[in-house]
Structure 1
Amino acid sequence: MQEELKDLNKKALGAAISYMGKVAWPTIALTFLVCSLFVLCIVLFANDVITVWLATPLVSVLTYMAYTPLHEAVHGNIHGSRSRMRWVNDVCGYLAAPIIGVPFASHRHEHFTHHRYTNIKGKDPDYLISEMGKGPFSVLLTTLKFFYAQNSFFAENNWHSADLKERVVYSAELCFSLGWRLLAILLIDQPGISIVVLVGYFFGGLFTAYWFAYRPHYPYDNTERYQNTSSLIMPPWMRPMEWFWLGQNIHSVHHLFPRVPFYRYHALHRDIEPILRAHGTPILGIWSRAPVTRG
């Protein structure tokens, strides 16, 4: 049985490789679209073109969507195997980071640790998000803790071993991420600017923490490579809205093959679904969490 699973894993890797290595032009386009729309949203609100009731959910949506380019840049998926285009990858990461409020240069330390120790309490820095399951108040409190952990991980775990450049970049990113929000609140003379900037960010971050971190790894009781992350399948009526998730509901594919770009998750999942099932990967309904017989 183990030999059969090893052979299946090799086949899955072969399928995944066919989706890796190319320049991720859709991610580049997404980065500039999200950043442009985010700035436009703030400008329109500042000029009283849109209300706080429209600007706040738009900021939330764009905050969530900003994490995918950052996440892709952390994995080096934007430039693929084209090392000369690494600068494009980094530009996308640095542009998206101040929106989602997570420093790009230091996030790879936290995120790679999460990949290395997925679901291992005391080692996986994202394990704290498991506290979300304890009730509504815990959801809010855990989200705040998660924000803090994402920004403080480098300072607490890598600061002393980092060189001066890494420390300066990390500090500059933190200052810019906090600074633009403070300046917006102080300089934009519109009632509700604090709600747009802070509440909009909070709910965008909460959605990211819940759907990108909590739900794919729940119930946090399995550390096996093929079983520590779920594929969350949406019902047919939700398929027209599925683009909003940016493929992150198929999170098992990312943990198995992190160099596959997000817009290829669904295609690869279809290719290797029998292999995933043979390995015991949880393939569940996104709401019911009941096993789905066909994805």
Structure 2
Amino acid sequence: MTAPVLTPITQALNAGVLTRQELKALMVRSDVPALKHLALWIMLVLSTGSLIHLTYGSVWMWAAMFLHGVVLVHHFSLQHECCHYTVFRTRWLNDLVGNICAIIIMLPNRHFRYEHCDHHTYTQLKGDDPELIELPRSLGGYLWYLSSLPYWRSKFTELGRHTFGHLSKEEERFIPKEERQTIFWEARLMLVAYVAIGGFCIATHWWGPVIYWWGPVLLGEPVMRFIRMTEHVGKPNVRDMTENTRTNYVTRPMRFLAWNMNYHAEHHYAASVPFHALPALHEKLKGHVAVESRGYIGAHIDILAQLFGRKHRCDATKGN
């Protein structure tokens, strides 16, 4: 019989580098760190939005929209933490903020929560992980994914499917039957909101939502695709968490935007640890974590090396 794979947390506990009391302390949730972070977050969103206003009508407006978009698409990081109920100690605050983020980036919150639960259960396992991003088969496939066009096609298709009361075969696996009507109404309400805002823009000739919201999100989403690839892409399709997930060392501003989700391996090891305690958990788990010291760029260097290496191996095989 094959011995069970020990989780990194269990390994750390067994090795004495982390005690159960320390882990329990790290798992304590609090509204205070999140409210402080959120206050700075709102100030940042207003600041980057103001740059669009200040550069309106000039060529620099596109740069401002892109910068604002990079901040807006990072609402994914905040929503992700809210779906784990680890941002705030107060449960309804997680739901409220998570649903606001959902509207901003068109990611229905209840659906995402169920999908993400299966991602944690079946991380990197083909056919089971609903968020699995495959290692691209070519440079064209790599760039196609980074363009975010496949992502938006998937999101619009998903929204339309749910609006008409349908689930994909994959969704039927992870969404409980008793929750399916909630998923459908979530999509319908989101679509109604978007149509109402769009209709208002057309009727009044006021394009604020396009300039300060939808346009920037479209411009910024490739950056989020770039970051999402660094979490698991190129890692083995195995159950062992020490092998299937990366932690990326990034600058403090990027850590702020990511709500510390660059410590992604630690998050998978102990998903109940709040965002503000992940750096401390990382310090405890050094030596038990797959770290990319070169950050997001380094992760992509690794991904591209694997991509071209695989292509080279395939070409060599054909030559034989």
Instruction: Judge same fold: TM > 0.5, yes or no.
Output: yes
- Which whole-Å CA distance do the structure 2 matches of 1:102 and 1:55 have between them? 24
- Which whole-Å CA distance do the structure 2 matches of 1:228 and 1:220 have between them? 5
- TM-score, normalised via structure 1 length: 0.74
More moved, 133-142 vs 103-112: 133-142
Q: Name the structure 1 match of 2:259.
A: 246
Shift of 1:70: 1.0
Q: Alignment length, in residue pairs?
A: 276
- TM-score, normalised via structure 2 length: 0.69
- Which whole-Å CA distance do the structure 2 matches of 1:288 and 1:130 have between them? 15
Match of 2:73 among 64, 68, 72: 64
Q: For 1:70-113, what per-residue CA distance to the aligned partner results, in whole angstroms no more than 9, with x for missing partners?
A: 11110011344xxxx31122111122221122111221011111
The residue type equivalent to 1:98 in the other structure is I
Q: Name the structure 2 match of 1:274.
A: 287
The residue type equivalent to 1:260 in the other structure is V
Match of 1:288 among 298, 311, 314: 298
More moved, 191-200 vs 262-271: 191-200
Secondary structure of the corresponding residue to residue 274 of structure 1:
coil
- Which whole-Å CA distance do the structure 1 matches of 2:98 and 2:269 have between them? 22
Q: How does 1:1-295 map to 2 (within 5 A)?
A: 6-9=10-13, 12=18, 14=20, 15-31=22-38, 34=41, 38=45, 49-51=54-56, 52-53=61-62, 55-80=64-89, 85-128=90-133, 130-131=135-136, 134-140=141-147, 141-145=149-153, 147-148=155-156, 155-156=167-168, 157=171, 158=175, 160-162=177-179, 164-176=181-193, 178-179=194-195, 182-183=198-199, 185-186=201-202, 189=205, 194=210, 196-211=212-227, 213-223=228-238, 224-234=240-250, 238-239=251-252, 242-276=255-289, 281-286=290-295, 287-289=297-299
Shift of 1:186: 2.6
Secondary structure of the corresponding residue to residue 86 of structure 2:
coil
Q: Go from structure 1 to structure 2 and tell me whether the alpha carbon gap of 1:262 and 1:98 turns closer, same or farther (over 3 Å shift).
A: same
More moved, 118-127 vs 2-11: 2-11
Between structure 1 and structure 2, the one with the greater Rg is: 2
For the 8 Å contact 1:217–1:229, the answer to whether it is kept is yes
Q: Go from structure 1 to structure 2 and tell me whether the alpha carbon gap of 1:68 and 1:18 turns closer, same or farther (over 3 Å shift).
A: same
For the 8 Å contact 2:118–2:129, the answer to whether it is kept is yes
Unaligned runs of 5+ in 2: 303-320
The residue type equivalent to 2:233 in the other structure is Y
- Which whole-Å CA distance do the structure 2 matches of 1:33 and 1:101 have between them? 23
Q: Go from structure 1 to structure 2 and tell me whether the alpha carbon gap of 1:93 and 1:138 turns closer, same or farther (over 3 Å shift).
A: closer
Cα RMSD (Å): 3.8
The residue type equivalent to 1:199 in the other structure is G
- Which whole-Å CA distance do the structure 2 matches of 1:74 and 1:28 have between them? 17
Unaligned runs of 5+ in 1: none
Q: Name the structure 1 match of 2:318.
A: none
More moved, 191-200 vs 113-122: 191-200
For the 8 Å contact 1:70–1:97, the answer to whether it is kept is yes
- Which whole-Å CA distance do the structure 2 matches of 1:67 and 1:107 have between them? 11
The residue type equivalent to 1:232 in the other structure is N
More moved, 141-150 vs 14-23: 141-150
- Which whole-Å CA distance do the structure 2 matches of 1:108 and 1:4 have between them? 23
